Amino acid sequence: MEEGVNVVSTAVLSLVGGELAAGGGMGQVDIRLRAGEGETIDCAGAWIVPGFMELHCHGAAGHRTLDLSDGAYRTMSEFLASRGTTSFLMAIPACGFGKMLECVDFAAGMMSKGLPGARLDGVYLEGPCLKNAGGMTPELLRVPTSKELDELFEHGHGIIKIMTVAPEMPGAPELVERLCAQGVVPAAGHTSASAAELREAARRGLRHVTHLGNNGEGDIRCVKGCYQHDGPLLEMLGNDQLTAEIIADGVHVAPGMFKVFCRAKGVDNCVAITDGCAASGLEDGNYFFPNPLGRMEEFTVRGGALYIASTGQLTGSLLTMDKAFMNVQRFAGLTPAEAARLCASNPRRVAGLEAKGDFVVISKEGIVKLTVVDGRIVYRLGETP
């Protein structure tokens, strides 16, 4: 630790299992400088919760996770920290194999160097073995070859945490087994698999569901008084082996449906995500961003979400984790401690990451006052990073 850097004693928080026990919560946090000077930050009227984790985030503040530069990641890191996020995974959409390797190698270097705000904790590969493109580039969806997987796992050992797979794709069941053998969490997503195909993938080791409710899981319909469903949605909800992430912006999944999903899966099996994109933090309007093939595409920011301008297809979210923490309480009637599990401890557990002493001080109105990562104050309300 460098001299003069703020070092925080987390003992006063009594963090147990990722939740606040008696003695934590309201009150004051004692801040000590390494040089021996003292400072007290008044946290009256605020919650002190474990640092939020962005399990599934594609960018922020005008930058994509595909923008592999130190400057872009420093900007994203500081922006996320200002929203109470203390760590994040680099979510990579379906892209060319060379770009995937480049992303994994860049992540390894950035994790070693460190960032000024939120900490980069690994890579989330959303594809390319997907069936439904959603907001992705359709021509990039494919099943990787065995040789490609060998090289990918060699580069990404310990770096890749999650990979999204559509269980109905040829070779997907075998891919799920390979992911498990490498310590990577296989997740079902961008899929129209049948319940039987999903069960088979779960038997092979499938453990998680990517953005539940936004995969093309099919609809539930009533035909002459009988409810019918042909897709994987009910199996995703009813299979206790599967954890599920849900975009908590109230746009991608309606608030009432978020509550149903959360009730069906249970608080311990749900993760609140943003699925944030480069437009997070930008004003409403039209913007141009390159797709993974390098072609510029126009997107529209409106109503708290991102849409492909040419088709109106809903794609990225503008949500940040401070808003997610407040939304899940409102949508599903959760307590602050339960909301902290969805936003902090559950995502770390799903990604196979150890609990950290990171924490955030957030007001009851949802305003982040302080963010602490690895014992350092990385954001304080009213101060410029």
pLDDT per residue over 291-314, tens digit each? 888 889 899 998 888 898 888 888
Q: Which amino acid is at 184?
A: V
User: Once rounded to an integer, what is the mean pLDDT over residues 205-211?
Assistant: 98
Q: What is the pTM of this model?
A: 0.90
Domain at 51-281+314-353, CATH from 3.40.190.10, 3.40.50.720, 3.20.20.140, 3.30.1320.10 = 3.20.20.140
Higher pLDDT, 286 or 28: 286
Q: What is the pLDDT of residue 37?
A: 52
* pLDDT tens figures, 140-181: 999 999 999 999 999 999 999 999 999 999 999 999 999 999
Q: What is the pLDDT of residue 324?
A: 98
* pLDDT tens figures, 46-89: 899 999 999 999 999 999 999 999 999 999 999 999 999 999 99
* pLDDT tens figures, 352-365: 999 888 999 999 99
Q: What is the pLDDT of residue 14?
A: 35
User: Once rounded to an integer, what is the mean pLDDT over residues 96-100?
Assistant: 95
Q: What is the pLDDT of residue 38?
A: 58
Q: Which amino acid is at 211?
A: H
124: helix, strand or coil:
strand
* pLDDT tens figures, 234-279: 999 999 999 999 999 999 999 999 999 999 999 999 999 999 999 8
* pLDDT tens figures, 7-58: 444 433 333 233 333 333 434 455 443 423 556 677 778 899 999 999 999 9
Q: What is the pLDDT of residue 150?
A: 96
